[in-house]
């Protein structure tokens, strides 16, 4: 039987050297004591202890790496890890939901890559196997998997346009990345380049905010511009992450290749896909953009994972690309509709609107000197409330459940996002119809669809017609049986 | 069908751990129970408990443990007073892990952990050879189940 054993990359030993920061506190304390006593001879006498600690950690790191192995054969992929507490994990190829090759930009010059393997069992926060290997060996492993378990031909390849990726980055970027980056840059610039540079940077930003703030308090303008710059940085990171993006559909799997500096290849067996979803936030809805994301166990556990299959496109283009790339996942028309109550859709944004207006009027009355700032904050809070209203109106219009070609289509609104979810019927593990006494009186029910997942994953549709839902999902009606 | 009983060394391990852990209650008794009557009562109670655990409960627990692997399930039975039988269908198993702690390494036994979605089974007290064989058998059975 074929079997190959691969030792992990030397970078694993370098990572283990982090224990120096833990045990290095001992020489640090000794140095501090010597400083306070004013007698360095004590410190130099004990230097052997400090050196011993460093040598022991280095030896530990080297031996740890020696015992960190990846072994694969025709049946399974295995990982051996740990020195004192040693684990040998064996994952059959058949149970894999995701296999991923990841080459971070900072390791590419050293020829190192990560192989990640995940299954539906195990820890839902960490991958089941995550090992750093020499890039050549990692590529051979991926090639072996493709030849033995994924040897069907490529049926369709999708290359999104750059404009689509920029649209995705602009609409869906998480501001937090940019904010963290910018805040770190400004605060650390003083340490690296001197306080004068840091003061110059902060001062320049302050002057810029004062210059451009028009009829708005400079402090408020500064915050707004800070977030805007941070957002632009976030957009830049996302464009780089999705650079050179390609999705290939094979008979048995979907392969996603992406990244300019940090490259990654994700192989997802088609029968392991839990569902696809099309989220639309307020901006995407207003401008008519749609993106397709995949939900499968393993994808999304690391920040650099790519869940997006089709980046942002206008509706007509999106429908065309989806039909070509995933013909069995075309969204179907709604059959089951929620009863169109106003209360459920508009109560929450109305409450927020009332609170916002109360804050503005009460704040302006009690703190007249702060009126400008209060009006500004009130306006900024009002904008997302309007967004919420827009989403709720759209949700009320579009919500429902449909079915075609073995795939259920569920449409609903969730906070600030419209969701269209495409669930293969074999991924549904439980359907619940819940009725309050009011819903029983009206003949309605809350529909909950549980899908295969590492944790709990429930999709909901509110206020659907109870009898129609029973018929639609071919469910047993206990009332009839008991009667 | 494979029927496996854990290695006797695992009973020795439990007994050693019991002795080590016993120092804690003995320390507590000697520190906090100062009057001679209370001290004697404390020592007496702990002594009886220790003997019951060492000579009766742990061997009974060990004797109750059995692992069965057939073409459809992995079955684990254990329990001194309340018997627990755990049945894990082969087609739900995702992977197996062989785990070795430093103490277990000295004793020459390993634990085979079998993982399914939302569940895991620990088969303790196996030799490395046995654990590897069972792991391989389970992998083969998963492949057979998948083909069917």
Determine the pLDDT at residue A231: 80
- Element (DSSP H or E) covering residue B111: strand B110-116
Whole-angstrom distance, CA of residue A387 vs CA of residue A380: 12
Tokens of B55: 């000579």
Tokens of A313: 């496109």
CB-nearest to A88 from B98, B115, B120 is: B98
**A310-322 pLDDT per residue, tens:** 988 898 899 999 9
Cβ contact A233:A244 at 8 Å: no
Band of pLDDT at residue B21, cut at 50, 70 and 90:
confident
Whole-angstrom distance, CA of residue A176 vs CA of residue A196: 27
What residues of A are in contact with residue B96 (Cβ under 8 Å)?
89-90
More confident residue, B123 or B144: B123
- Element (DSSP H or E) covering residue A338: none
Band of pLDDT at residue B24, cut at 50, 70 and 90:
confident
Whether B96 sits inside 8 A of A89 (CB atoms) is: yes
Determine the pLDDT at residue A35: 79
* pTM, entire model: 0.80
Q: Which of A186-190, A304-308, B65-69, B80-84 has the highest mean pLDDT?
A: B65-69
Determine the pLDDT at residue A39: 72
Whether A89 sits inside 8 A of B143 (CB atoms) is: no
Query: How far does A172 lie from chain B, in Å, by closest CA?
Result: 32
What residues of B are in contact with residue A454 (Cβ under 8 Å)?
117
Number of C-beta neighbours around residue A466 at 10 A: 20
CB-nearest to B96 from A86, A90, A120 is: A90
Determine the pLDDT at residue A217: 61
CB-nearest to B139 from A76, A87, A121 is: A76
Determine the pLDDT at residue A122: 83
What residues of B are in contact with residue A90 (Cβ under 8 Å)?
95-98, 135, 139
What residues of B are in contact with residue A272 (Cβ under 8 Å)?
none
Question: Which residue of A3, A71, A76 is the best one to mutate when testing the B interface, meaning the one whose CB has the most B CBs within 10 A?
Answer: A76
Determine the pLDDT at residue A299: 87
Facing residues of B100 across strands? A86
Positions of chain A with pLDDT lower than 70, given as ranges: 42, 172-221, 340-342, 476-483
Residue among A232, A196, A234, A227 at smallest CA distance from A209 = A227
Residues 6+ apart with CB under 8 A from B137: B2, B69
What residues of B are in contact with residue A75 (Cβ under 8 Å)?
136, 139-140, 143
Whole-angstrom distance, CA of residue A265 vs CA of residue A128: 17
Determine the pLDDT at residue A181: 60
Cβ contact B109:B7 at 8 Å: yes
What average pLDDT does the segment B102-114 reach? 92
Size of interface A-B (CB pairs under 8 A): 65
B135 and A CB contact within 8 Å: yes
Residues 6+ apart with CB under 8 A from A201: A186, A189
Determine the pLDDT at residue B126: 94
Tokens of A115: 């192989």
């Amino acid at each position: 039987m074929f079997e190959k054993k691969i030792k992990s990359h030397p970078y694993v030993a370098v990572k283990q050297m982090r224990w120096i920061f833990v045990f290095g506190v001992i020489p640090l304390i000794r140095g501090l004591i010597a400083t306070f006593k004013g007698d360095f001879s004590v410190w130099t006498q004990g230097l052997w202890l400090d050196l011993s600690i460093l040598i022991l950690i280095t030896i530990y790191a080297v031996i740890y790496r020696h015992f960190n192995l990846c072994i694969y054969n025709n049946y399974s992929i295995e990982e051996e890890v740990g020195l004192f507490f040693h684990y040998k994990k064996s994952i059959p190829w058949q149970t894999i939901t995701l296999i991923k090759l990841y080459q971070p930009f900072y390791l590419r010059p050293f020829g190192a890559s990560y192989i990640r393997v995940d299954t539906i069992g195990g820890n839902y926060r960490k991958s089941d196997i995550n090992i750093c290997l020499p890039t050549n060996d990692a590529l051979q492993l991926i090639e072996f998997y493709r030849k033995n378990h994924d040897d069907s031909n490529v049926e369709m390849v999708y290359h999104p346009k750059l404009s689509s990726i920029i649209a995705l980055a602009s609409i869906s970027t998480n501001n937090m990345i940019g904010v963290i980056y910018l805040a770190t840059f400004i605060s650390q610039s003083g340490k690296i380049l001197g306080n004068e540079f840091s003061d110059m940077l902060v001062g320049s930003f302050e002057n810029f905010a004062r210059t451009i703030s028009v009829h708005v308090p400079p402090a408020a303008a500064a915050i707004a511009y800070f977030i805007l710059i941070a957002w632009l940085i976030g957009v830049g990171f996302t464009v780089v992450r999705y650079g050179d993006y390609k999705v290939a559909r094979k008979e048995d799997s979907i392969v996603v290749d992406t990244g300019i500096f940090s490259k990654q290849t994700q192989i997802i067996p088609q029968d392991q896909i839990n569902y696809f979803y099309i989220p639309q936030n307020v901006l995407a809805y207003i401008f008519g953009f749609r993106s397709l994301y995949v939900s499968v166990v393993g994808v999304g556990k690391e920040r650099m994972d790519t869940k997006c299959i089709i980046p942002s496109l206008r509706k007509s283009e999106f429908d065309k690309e989806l039909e070509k790339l995933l013909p069995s996942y075309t969204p179907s028309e709604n059959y089951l509709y929620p009863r169109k109550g106003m209360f459920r859709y508009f109560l929450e944004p109305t409450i927020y609107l009332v609170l916002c207006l109360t804050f503005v009027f009460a704040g302006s009355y009690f703190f007249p000197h702060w009126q400008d700032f209060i009006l500004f904050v009130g306006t900024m809070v009002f904008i997302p409330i309007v967004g919420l209203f827009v989403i709720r109106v759209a949700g009320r219009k579009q919500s429902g459940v449909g079915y075609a070609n073995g795939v259920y289509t569920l449409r609903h609104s969730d906070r600030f996002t419209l969701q269209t979810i495409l669930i293969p019927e074999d991924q549904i593990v439980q359907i619940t119809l819940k009725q309050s006494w009011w819903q029983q009186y009206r003949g309605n029910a809350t529909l909950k669809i549980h899908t295969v997942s590492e944790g709990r994953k429930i999709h909901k549709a509110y206020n659907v017609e109870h009898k129609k839902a029973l018929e639609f999902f071919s469910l047993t009606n206990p009332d009839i049986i008991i009667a | 069908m494979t029927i496996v009983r854990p290695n006797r060394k695992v009973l020795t391990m439990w007994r050693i751990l019991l002795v080590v852990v016993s120092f804690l209650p003995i320390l507590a008794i000697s520190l906090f129970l100062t009057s001679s009557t209370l001290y004697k009562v404390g020592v007496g109670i702990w002594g009886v408990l220790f003997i019951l655990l060492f000579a009766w409960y742990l061997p009974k627990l060990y004797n109750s443990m059995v692992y069965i692997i057939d073409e459809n399930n992995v079955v684990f039975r254990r329990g001194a007073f309340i018997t627990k039988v755990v049945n894990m269908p082969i087609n739900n198993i995702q992977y197996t892990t062989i785990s070795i702690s430093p103490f277990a390494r000295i004793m020459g036994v390993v634990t085979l952990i079998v993982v399914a979605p939302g569940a895991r089974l620990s088969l303790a007290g196996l030799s490395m050879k046995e654990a590897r064989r069972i792991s391989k058998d389970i992998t083969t059975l998963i492949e057979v189940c998948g083909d069917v």
